[in-house]
Structure 1
Amino acid sequence: MRVSDEDRERTTQQLQHAFSEGRLNPLELEDRLGTALAAKTYGDLLAVISDLPVEPRADEVLELGSKNGHVKRSGDWAVPRRLRVTSKYGSVDLDFSEAVTTHPVVEVELDLTYGSAKIVLPEGGVANVDGFQSDWGSSSTSGVPSRPRPGALYVVISGRAKYGGLTVRYPRKRWFTH
């Protein structure tokens, strides 16, 4: 997908912020800024920021929550840069396979007490679950790679489940018979 001037500007701001924190030296900043300003696709932008921490703006955070119910997003829905999901006794089901994702990196922060989370990525999507911890459950990525890839959705998952787990997978293949 092609990027806008606003996307390029946001990326250059992220690079300058990383430089001010000492994450990039002056030569790296100059090289990356040149690449970002000439970027044509989200893959081009992802290549210059994939090794940097994501700094979401406050207006780009969606908070979802439930005490007893199921938190679910699927189909054609708009994905923000960051999702914060809290569920006390229910499960979480986030399906990105048909979602509209205009950001190359999406952060998902989970706070689960007695429930599990399932995240379905679009084909080729990538997920990093290193920041997720389960006290009495497991986390599974079912063949989903964890390193960023240019042009692919990169989902960074963090948070905790006390009595539940996390599953990240691709959509199930559907077989039709006539």
Structure 2
Amino acid sequence: MSQLQMRVSDEDRERTAQQLQHAFSEGRLTQLELEDRLEIALTARTYGELLGLIDDLPVDQPQVDDVVELESKNGHIKRAGDWAVPRRLRVVSKYGSVELDLSEAVITHPVVDIELDLAYGSAKITLPDGGVANVDAFHSDWGQVHTGDVPGRPRAGAVHVVISGRTKYGSLTVRHPRKRWLSR
């Protein structure tokens, strides 16, 4: 199933409605266009339906077809802290490892696609609290894929990360952030 066919949440519908109202306030939509699109947005069932309503409007984030690519031949690729996660991320590393920490990142999309192309390196992806990850499209020839207790199916209100790609000799680990115990 493609991401465009995935079912949306009430929050997704509301976010799209806000984008439409903002476009109307900027003069990009007429009153009639706004009303027609809002009616569809509030009854939409899939991301494809929602994206069809806003794909002709300017946005500050990457469009569905935009891909941010990170590449390294033998260095370590690492993203952590307060960084903007694109809708689609393609990571290529021949000999190095990859560490993507999404736990404190700014994620404006309900679904994030991460494609990993690793030859000899491994990848570790840390999800935000409550995040889910589907790793069904990731293959490791000689390594392992570890997801622990990370759910694989979409959940309402949770970031859904879809991981695809391959590694020849490395592994993939997907986990939630470690709990930090506060001293009293």
Q: Which runs of 5+ in 2 are unaligned?
A: 1-10, 21-36, 49-62
- Cα 1:5–1:172 change in 2 (3 A) is same
Which position in structure 2 is the counterpart of 1:86? 92
Q: Which runs of 5+ in 1 are unaligned?
A: 9-32, 40-44, 51-55
Conservation of the 8 A alpha-carbon contact between 1:64 and 1:85? yes
Instruction: Supply the AA of the counterpart residue of 1:138.
Output: Q
What is the TM-score of this pair, normalised by structure 1? 0.72
Instruction: Supply the AA of the counterpart residue of 1:154.
Output: H
- Cα 1:38–1:72 change in 2 (3 A) is same
Percent same amino acid among aligned pairs? 62
- Cα 1:86–1:35 change in 2 (3 A) is farther
Conservation of the 8 A alpha-carbon contact between 1:75 and 1:95? yes
Which position in structure 1 is the counterpart of 2:71? 65
Q: Deviations over 1:73-125 (max 9, x none)?
A: 00000011100000011100001100000000000000001110000001110
Alignment of structure 1 residues 136-147 onto 2, 5 Å: 136-147=142-153
Conservation of the 8 A alpha-carbon contact between 2:16 and 2:41? no
What is the TM-score of this pair, normalised by structure 2? 0.70
Work out whether 1:174 is the aligned partner of 2:180: yes
How many residue pairs get matched?
143
Work out whether 1:126 is the aligned partner of 2:132: yes
- Say which of 94, 105, 115 aligns to 1:109: 115
Which position in structure 2 is the counterpart of 1:38? 42
Q: Secondary structure at the match of 1:127?
A: strand
Structure number with greater Rg is 2
- Cα 1:48–1:57 change in 2 (3 A) is closer
Conservation of the 8 A alpha-carbon contact between 1:36 and 1:48? no
What is the distance in 2 between the residues matched to 1:35 and 1:174? Answer: 44
